[in-house]
Structures are given as C-alpha cells and as structure tokens.
C-alpha cells in the first residue's frame, strides 16, 4: 500500500490511498475538500487521473472535507461512500448522488482495500475516520476529532502507518487575537480538534510495535507551527525505526510507501 496527502488543512483535505498491485491497483480518495479542477490537478501531480479512482470515501460533511466530492463523483462516475448522517447533513445534494452508506465499526471493501470506519467525537452529524488494510499493512487516518476516546485508541492498534491530526498548539490558540472566544472554545472543546499534546497522547497509547510512519495532519495555519507538531509527535514515539512527517496544505509531501 502507499498513500499521498494531496492537501491537509482548513482550506481543503484529501488523501489518496493505493493498493500495491501494479497491474490494476485500487485507488481511493479519502475526503475531497477541493473544487473539481483543483483536485484533478493535484491527482494528476500524484500520477493519478480522477477517472481512475475506484471510490471517494468521506469522513464528514464539513466543506474542507467534502467540498468537491459530489461534483468529482458525478463528473467521473465515481462511487461515494459516507455515513447516513453525513448524507443527511448534505440534504438535497446527496439525494442526487449515488451514495453507498457505511456504518461505524462495520468494515467494507473497495477492491483490494478493506476499510474499518471508526466513530469519532467531532461537531458534525455522524463523523468517522478509517483504518485501511490491504492484507499486509494497516494505515490509520484520524483527523477532525476533539479528543482521543478509548474506542479510537483501541481501533488504532497494530498500525504500520498513522495520519494523525495535530491541529493547534494550546498556547498559540489561547493567545490568538484573531479568534473570538467562542471559536477558541469550539476548537479546543471535546468535539473540536486535536491539540499537539492530545495527538501525542494518542500516539503514545496505541502501541507502536509495527509503526513505521507517522504523519501529522490538519495543522492550523494560525494556531500551530510545523516544528511544534513535529516535536510533539517525535516525543511520543517509542518505536526507534518510525519516522515523523508532516502533511501541508499544498500537498507537497509526496507518496509514502508501506
């Protein structure tokens, strides 16, 4: 399996996952928070045409995760997977799309990839994140959650790679004069986003025997700095062979091979 962040942050999120088969690999986009032309451009930069996608899997209905999903799916005949709650939150727009409903804790397969949906605490209708398994390696993708529940920690055991939200630094968020108090409380609340310290706690708790790669994701442009997120994740690593990377808004990290 390999994966590539096509962009991660408040302006849009998309993660491309591909199975290892060289002749007919399975390609799935997790979230599509960019407009159609932009995600087509980013896919092409990663060596993948939009028409080659087997599916788009959506975590929740916020615009930076689903903004382009419906138009991309309609333009290229791509299957859309999301929870019932996410579909309901989209209203009439979802009624016109070919959506396949997924449920938390009920795995489903797309080609050579097996998806395990994980219920997470976030301020949306029915959010999930995912563990993706190709039979050999396991990739966890966990962004947009307010805190690490015991259920989330259990679901993330036995991973080879983890994409984990590091949204904000607590001191930077508290001191940010641009954000009103209500917004700060939402971000830092139990249904908001993960601070660097919370991400580190999750990483330390999941068991790292197989872990090779950790990617910090969804960094706030106004309330975090890359070096702070990197330091928090590195400090929580007990696996000496694992490496820490960061996903950025421009999607410049490239492919990660597992």
**DSSP one-letter code for 219:** -
**What is the structure's pLDDT at 21?**
75
Contact 216, 246 (CB under 8 A): yes
**Is the predicted pLDDT of residue 185 greater than 80, yes or no?**
yes
Query: What are 41-94's pLDDT values in tens digits?
Result: 999 999 999 999 999 999 999 999 999 999 999 999 999 999 999 999 988 777
**What is the structure's pLDDT at 45?**
96
**What is the structure's pLDDT at 205?**
97
Query: What are 113-156's pLDDT values in tens digits?
Result: 999 999 999 999 999 999 999 999 999 999 999 999 999 999 99
| 102 domain-assigned | yes
We report the CATH number of the domain holding residue 43 as 3.60.15.10
β-strand pairing of 161-165 with 2-7: unpaired
Query: What are 189-219's pLDDT values in tens digits?
Result: 999 999 999 999 999 999 999 999 999 999 9
**The pair of three-digit structure tokens given for residue 41, joined into one six-digit string:** 């451009």
CA angle 237, 239, 241 (to 5 degrees): 115
Burial class of 106 by CB neighbour count within 10 A (0 to 12, 13 to 18, 19+): exposed
**What is the structure's pLDDT at 98?**
81
The residues facing 162 across adjacent strands are 140, 214
Best CA proximity match to 55, nearest among 103, 97, 12: 97
Query: What are 91-104's pLDDT values in tens digits?
Result: 877 777 789 999 99
Cα distance between residue 255 and residue 172, in whole Å: 31
**What is the structure's pLDDT at 70?**
95
- The radius of gyration of the chain from alpha carbons, rounded to an integer in Å, stands at 17
| 171 domain-assigned | yes
Percent of the chain with pLDDT over 90: 93
Best CA proximity match to 215, nearest among 173, 258, 174, 172: 258
Residue 99 φ/ψ, nearest 5 degrees: -110, 135
**What is the structure's pLDDT at 69?**
96
**What is the structure's pLDDT at 97?**
77
Contact 68, 36 (CB under 8 A): yes
**What is the structure's pLDDT at 26?**
97
| 256 domain-assigned | no
| 257 domain-assigned | no
Regarding pTM above 0.85, the answer is: yes
**What is the structure's pLDDT at 253?**
87
Q: How confident is the model at residue 38 (pLDDT cuts 50, 70, 90)?
A: very high
The structural domain count of the chain equals 1
Contact 159, 3 (CB under 8 A): no
To which residue do tokens 């390696």 refer?
137
**DSSP one-letter code for 218:** -
Domain span including residue 70: 2-251
């Amino acid at each position: 399996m390999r994966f590539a962040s096509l962009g991660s942050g408040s302006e849009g999120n998309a993660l491309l996952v591909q199975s290892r088969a060289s002749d007919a690999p399975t390609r799935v986009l997790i979230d599509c928070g960019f407009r159609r032309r932009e995600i087509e451009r980013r896919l092409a930069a990663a060596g993948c045409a939009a028409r080659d996608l087997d599916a788009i899997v959506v975590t929740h209905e916020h615009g930076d995760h689903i903004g382009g999903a419906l138009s991309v799916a309609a333009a290229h005949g791509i299957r859309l997977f999301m929870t019932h709650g996410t579909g309901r939150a989209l209203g009439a727009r979802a009624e016109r799309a070919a959506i396949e409903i997924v449920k938390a804790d009920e795995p489903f397969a797309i080609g050579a990839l097996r998806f395990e949906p994980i219920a997470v605490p976030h301020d949306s209708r029915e959010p999930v994140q995912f563990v993706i398994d190709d039979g050999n390696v396991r990739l966890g993708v966990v962004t947009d959650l307010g805190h690490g529940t015991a259920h989330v920690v259990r679901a993330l055991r036995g991973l080879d790679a983890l994409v984990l939200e590091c949204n904000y630094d607590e001191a930077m968020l508290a001191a940010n004069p641009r954000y009103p108090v209500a917004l700060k409380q939402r971000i830092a609340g139990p249904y908001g986003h993960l601070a660097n310290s919370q991400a580190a706690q999750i990483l330390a708790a999941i068991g790292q025997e197989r872990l090779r790669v950790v990617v910090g994701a969804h960094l706030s442009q106004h309330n975090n700095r890359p070096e702070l997120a990197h330091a928090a994740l590195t400090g929580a690593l007990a696996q000496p062979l694992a490496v820490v990377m960061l996903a950025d808004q421009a999607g410049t990290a490239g492919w990660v091979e597992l």
